[in-house]
Structures are given as structure tokens and as C-alpha cells.
Chains A and B, each alone.
Chain A
């Protein structure tokens, strides 16, 4: 199922690289632009399945890309957005998550693009409505909420950070080389300790965990 993607990245070199990666895995990129105004115009014109944008770009060379994404989102609340950033800045992640999303939001470090297959699957997940957060964001959030997290065992903390990245229990089990039943036990223990109410599946669980970590 090829996706229709609008892309904004101000460095021509990386823009071409991104287009190559996305077309290589079978998607279409009808517009790849270099500034925030062109991004808004292109998104209105092509009505894409997902917008991928860098944070810093002209005209202001501040967080114009992020703001354009937020504006597009207000215009069309279901539009999936994947933000790529040179840095993981907590304030940007928080800003994005504050969109009160029920559909796809992603925030990844630019370097993740070079792991081509993983990047492609992150794009598809966000387009399908999942929430994808860079492991680095999760790591920082975990570090910030030291206090209640002290109640978790090291293994439970590992499981929590994988939950926050949007992994299913099956994926977590494979990643940690334990049975899925063990993961289920960890998850329910975590939920109990952190007093979280999650409706089991998918990105809502991620959002709940992230919301907890940000609080």
C-alpha cells in the first residue's frame, strides 16, 4: 500500500536522501520542499497520507517546520505528522504530544533515517495512526520522572520504555527474550504501581504512558 507523502527538509542533500529512501521502499513523494510556507502550500495541494518535516527551516530558521505541522494539524486534525529533528529537545516532543492526538504523531532523530528499514516502518506506523517516539525521548522522560519510577524493578523499567515507544507485548517479549506471558505480568505490575488505566492496545497505551511520563 504505497503512501502519498509530502516532505519538508531545508538541506537539499538530506531532502534527496529522504526521497530516495521513501521511493525505494515503494512510496510516492509528490512534493519535497525546503521551507515552512511551501510545506503548507504543498500539503493543501496534495492532501497527503502523511507529512514528514524537519523542525528548523526557513523562513524563520527557528522551529518553523514544527509550527507549520501544528497549523496543518489544526486544519485537518487527522493528518499524520512525523517530525524529524537534529536534536531531541523535550520541549518539541511535549509540544507535539500536546496536539491531543488521536492519530499518528511521530518524533524521531534525523539519524534514524539511515536505518532505512526501521525508518520506513516508523513512517508506515505513523501513517496508520500510531504514535512513534524516539527511544531517546523516552529515555529522557524516564530520567525526568525518577521518583515513582524508583518503585519499578529494572526489568519493569525496560518494559515501560518499550511500551512508550509503541511496541506491542509480543514485540517486547521478543526484544527481551522472555515469554509473552511474562511481559503481560510485567505490564500489569507496572500499571498497578504507576496507577495507570490503559485500554490495552496500540497507540493509546503509548499516549497514556507518555502522558504519565510528562506529567
Chain B
């Protein structure tokens, strides 16, 4: 695996690293840091001093403004230099100016937090960082030769020669370690904040939740269409058949046929009802989680105790995720666990809905084995929630879900 930064190279292959390009890149980073730091410091000091002196004339204000904005230029160069030891791109945190022209550019830049972060980095860089570069270079590359040459003046100082020789191989490590630290600090300060770059990141997260929302909305729509369309039609056909039955001679073949037809339509109506209930329970839309879970448990073959106390209706996405969790957990308990009873418990505390489903079955529910639990976990994760399960062999099984309701 190739190393991605100087620091990684140092940590992963402490010996092979010596033969790689990384020590040289670190050296280049520090050398350019010293040169650039010195030039920038002198330039900025002169500009600031001239600005202060000529403030009376008015030109000074422009110079001081340039100093204030200097961070933009300095850090742009710093980002380029960063590639020497950390090739990952460091994106520019600045927004595009809202209006064209110099005024628009100035307006945007002066009101951006990134600009001031860059100025403070420049200040730190001027006062400390490039001096540190200088010190490290002096210690790693300057000190060993100094020690090794000391016996020339005084033959009894030969131990210094040994110490110098020992220090020399350490130089690449010292240089790379500091270069890596400096690069990490630079990246930390200069990388765009979540709010600047993060529009993309939050978009991605939100879209996953949106997908689930869209899916829920679609289920609600299908349920409504079934209810308003096919179900009503079938029921009215059945009513017509019933009316026709009134006109038929009791016991005649026509009456028998009509009764048969009615029986068939009734079965179809029942099947359709079960189907649409599975798609999206109506009570969930109308009355919320408590009522929907109550209805679910009255139909369940397993006796279930429900204790759901919520102060108000929760967001639709939370309600349907919660319902889905309970339905799936109870279905699992009924199918696999040989449980004799189950409990559903829900409370809202500090904007988090905590749902627990417990059954006294044989346990051994394994997320790796069934797709049901994995589906649940996906569903809960999409709602930014947590799902935990405890199901030792021999039971009981406890499933706990926390869903944020913001």
C-alpha cells in the first residue's frame, strides 16, 4: 500500500522510507517554508509599517486593507506547498463573489470567516511556524556537522564526532516528523469547514433521508389509491350483487350463483384490505404511532402489552420508521422466537424517541443471519437513529431503537 502522506510513510516503513522521496520532499517543504516565510514576513511588516505611517494621507488604508487580506495570497501558496508532503488536495474554502467587480469581491471576502481564519494562520506562520522550520533544519542538518568538525580544534573532543555521526542518520526523521506535523496543522486550519464545503456532505445525508421519505410517501399514495379505487369498486359490486340477490327467487340457481359470486368478492375485498394495510396503515396517518401499534397488536397472534406514551404527534418519517420497527420486530417474534408474549414500550425524551420491543422467546436473533434485522438497521440508520439488539441463546430478545425527532 503506497503511503499517502510523509507522516504515513514514516510510520509504515521506518527503514524503507529512507530510500523513498519523502525525506527529500519534507526537506523541500521546510526549506521553501523558511524562504517563503522570511519573504512574506518582511513584505507584510513593510506594508503594515508604511500603511500606518501614510494613514494620514489615506493611501495607508489601502495598504492596511491589503495586509488584512494578505492571508488569502499567503495561504494559497501554503496550499500549494502542502502538496510536497500531503498530496491530498486542500480545497479553497472561499465562496465565489456574489457580485462582479472589485467591490463585490471585497464584500464577499471581508464577510467570510475563511478570510479571517487565513489571516490568523498567516500571523501564526510569521511569528512561529517558519522560525520552527528554521530551528528544525538547523538542529537536524546544522548541528551534526558542527559537532563533527569540533575535534579539528580540540583533538580531545573526539566523542563529539561520534555523537555527530549518530545524529546525522536521525536528520531525515526529525525533518519529516516536523514537516508532517506542520502539514497537519496547516490542513486543520486551512481546510474548508463543513459549512463551506459541507453543503455537499449535508446534501448527501439529507438525500438518504429524503429517499426514505419519498418511499413512505409513495406507500401512502398506493394505499390511498387502493382505498379510493379498487377497494371501493369491489365493495360496490358486492352491494349490487346483494341487491340482485334480493330480486332472485330464493333457492333458485341464480340466487346460488349470486351468493357464490358474493363470497368470492368478499374474499377479494379481504385480501385487498390486508394488502393495503401492509402497505401503509391508515391509523398511522390519522392517529399516529400509538393507535397504529395498538391496531397492529390486536391483530397479532402473539399477546402483546403496549405502553406508548407520547406528548404529541411525531414527524411522519419518525412515526413510519417506528411503526416499521415494531411491525418487523413483532413479526420476527411471532415467526421465529416461539415467544408466548411480547412488550412494546415507547417514550419521547429530549427529542429522541426510544422504542423497545421485548419478547420472552428463545432468543438467538442474529443480524447476520436474517435480512429482516439488516433491513431494520438500514431503515433506522436512514432516519439517523440507532438500533441495538440483545438476543442471547435461550432469550429473552430485546430490541431498542432511538430515533431523533428534530
Q: Which residues of A are interface residues toward B (Cβ below 8 A)? A: 10-11, 13-14, 16-18, 20-21, 24, 56, 61-63, 86-87, 89-92, 110-111, 113-117, 140-141, 143-144, 146-147
Contacts and interface: CB of A to CB of B under 8 A. Distances in A.
Interface stretch (B143-151, B160-168, B229-237, B358-366): B229-237
A113 B235 contact: yes
Nearest to A139: B298
B77 interface: no
B285 interface: yes
B238 A116 contact: no
Contact of A91 (B228, B245, B287): B287
Given A11-B236, A13-B233, A90-B294, A56 B242 contact: no
Given A14-B232, A90-B294, A91-B292, 13 more contacts: A13-B232, A17-B240, A86-B232, A86-B235, A90-B291, A92-B283, A111-B235, A113-B238, A116-B243, A116-B245, A117-B246, A144-B297, A146-B303
Nearest to B245: A116
A116 B295 contact: no
B259 to A, nearest CB: 10
B227 interface: yes
A116 B227 contact: no
A114 B238 contact: yes
Contact of B243 (A24, A89, A140, A147): A24
Contacts of B336: none
A115 B235 CA distance: 11
Contacts of A86: 227, 231-232, 235, 273, 282
B242 A90 contact: no
Interface in B206-236: 224, 227-228, 231-233, 235-236
Contact of B286 (A21, A63, A110): A63
A180 B295 CA distance: 35
Which secondary structure dominates chain B's binding surface?
Answer: helix
B239 A143 contact: no
A140 B277 CA distance: 16
Nearest to B231: A86
A87 B146 CA distance: 93
Nearest to B273: A87
Count chain A CB atoms within 10 A of each CB in B240, B242, B277, B285 and give the residue with the most: B242
A90 B282 CA distance: 12
Contacts of B303: 146-147
Nearest to B285: A62
Nearest to B232: A11
Contacts of B232: 11, 13-14, 86
Given A91-B294, A140-B298, A110 B235 contact: yes
Which secondary structure dominates chain A's binding surface?
Answer: helix
Contact of A144 (B228, B283, B298): B298
Contacts of B242: 21, 113-116
Contact of A114 (B235, B277, B298): B235
Interface residues of B, number: 36
A56 B286 CA distance: 9
B232 to A, nearest CB: 4
A111 B298 contact: no
Contacts of A21: 239, 242-243
Interface stretch (B41-49, B122-130, B262-270, B396-404): B262-270
14 contacts: A14-B236, A21-B242, A56-B286, A87-B273, A90-B295, A90-B298, A91-B294, A113-B239, A114-B235, A114-B242, A116-B246, A140-B298, A143-B298, A144-B297
Interface in B169-210: none
Contacts of B224: 61
B388 interface: no
Interface string B293-309: 01101110001000000
In the complex, the 4 A-B pairs of residues with the closest C-beta atoms, listed nearest first: A114-B238, A91-B291, A17-B239, A11-B232
B200 to A, nearest CB: 38
Nearest to A95: B287
B298 A24 contact: no
Contacts of A56: 227, 282, 286
Given A20-B243, A21-B243, A89 B266 contact: no
B241 interface: yes
B246 A89 contact: no
Contacts of A16: 236
